[in-house]
Amino acid sequence: MSFASLGLSPFLQKELLRQNYTKPYPIQEAAIPAILRGKDVLGIAQTGSGKTASYALPILMNLDGKTGSKNRHIDALILVPTRELAVQVGDVFKQFGSVLPNRIKSMSVFGGVSINPQMIAMQNVNILVATPGRLLDLVNAKAVHLSAVKMLVLDEADKMLNLGFKKEIDQIFDKLPAKRQNLLFSATLSKDISTINQVLLKDPEVIKIEPETENLDLIKQSAYAVSEERKGPLLRYIIKQNDLQQVLIFTSSVYKADNVADKLRKNGIQAKAIHRRKSQLARTEALQNFKEGRLRVLVATDLLARGIDIEFLPCVINYELPRSPKDYIHRIGRTGRAENPGDAIALISPEEEHHFNVIQKKMKRKVEMIETEQIDLFKK
């Protein structure tokens, strides 16, 4: 199967090739033709499965030359749960939109930054990628109107509900016109998602992609048995011994993320922490620097476990385990993506051993446990 046979224009095909998208991923094979035909779609797929392009490409195709003419009336709305995902999805629209013959303006908006520049920039926007709260602020300020929306995407809908956006989403639904195409993407098919599906989608094309186990095959997992006090020194030892140049580390609290990053820096390893207490600017900057290889270590809370795509990330370290096995899989899923292999390392304290067994059972994988007591972590 090729992108050409999915019905995409030669302009998009050329850009896909330039970005090394040689053939469509399964979600794209299924979703692109359905969306081009105007069908509603329910996609059960993780980030990493290629779902952004699976809706961005046909939305751009469907709007090419057919955008609305009224100012501040957007044609397509993409709702996402986090600021980072808003930026990432917005970039995909910008990149592919830029090669089309007719001008399509896309923009990302999210909270935590000043609203005024967003209000001004909203002029002539056709495709808006937004987090729910900020979208409502903009709608209430009449900076944007939803009455001409032809296509709606709910991306990572399960995450949005987990983060408590239900009320805002309902308010947004109320402001949309009745006739529109609806696309719903979620990693899981929970009860809440089924409910939204029933309210929102009309006779949808249901696409279920289960990449978790496939993706896990690309990830080389290992675990180190270590006491809580020796985790810091072991972490530095692993980074130095393996000369790791781009590592994403997960902790379970904001405090720990700051603490781990501080200790790394004190020991001469360039590191930054990223979590909800950091300003939006600091978060964006740290993530951008990390993505582009200018920052060696990024220490994150679960804010980053989902939705963020970092190309060719070679290594993820779980400094502490997350509570849910699903989050563990999402965390390590930051590596081994887009068909590139990666390493996932877990530091397991005696207290965490039982929980780690549960995680291994859930993901149906046995991870080799390496003893570390004998290692001289302070050897120069």
- Residue from 356, 56, 45 nearest 211 by CA: 45
Tokens of 183: 């696309």
Tokens of 130: 């937004």
Please select the residue that binds ligand AMP; options are 15, 21, 97, 215, rule is CB under 6 A: 21
- Site membership for ligand AMP, residue 338 (CB under 6 A): yes
Tokens of 116: 């005024």
# residues near ligand AMP by CB under 6 A: 15
- Site membership for ligand AMP, residue 87 (CB under 6 A): no
- CB burial readout 91-127, b (16+ within 10 A) else e: bbbbebbebbeeebbbbbbbbeeeeeebbeebebbbb
- Site membership for ligand AMP, residue 376 (CB under 6 A): no
Q: How far is the CB of 35 from ligand AMP (least distance, A)?
A: 14
Nearer to ligand AMP, 211 or 232 (CB): 211
Cα–Cα–Cα angle for 336, 338, 344, rounded to 5 degrees: 10
Stretch that binds ligand AMP, among 20-28, 117-125, 191-199, 235-243 (CB under 6 A): 20-28
Nearer to ligand AMP, 25 or 224 (CB): 25
Residue 71's CB: how many other CB atoms inside 10 A?
A: 10
DSSP code at position 352: G
- CA dist., res. 119 & res. 184, Å (int): 27
- Site membership for ligand AMP, residue 51 (CB under 6 A): yes
Q: How far is the CB of 83 from ligand AMP (least distance, A)?
A: 16
Stretch that binds ligand AMP, among 41-49, 100-108, 118-126, 258-266 (CB under 6 A): 41-49
Nearer to ligand AMP, 30 or 234 (CB): 30
The answer to whether residues 89 and 56 touch, using CB atoms and an 8 Å cutoff, is yes
Residues within window 181-240 making contact with ligand AMP, judged by CB under 6 A: none
- Site membership for ligand AMP, residue 251 (CB under 6 A): no
- Site membership for ligand AMP, residue 24 (CB under 6 A): yes
Please select the residue that binds ligand AMP; options are 53, 78, 129, 261, rule is CB under 6 A: 53
- CA dist., res. 228 & res. 113, Å (int): 37
Q: How far is the CB of 46 from ligand AMP (least distance, A)?
A: 7
Name the strands in the sheet holding 368-371, side by side, starting at the edge strand that comes first in the sequence.
271-274, 297-300, 247-250, 315-318, 342-348, 219-225, 368-371
- Site membership for ligand AMP, residue 292 (CB under 6 A): no
| Footprint of ligand AMP (CB under 6 A) | 21, 24-25, 28, 47-53, 309, 311, 337-338
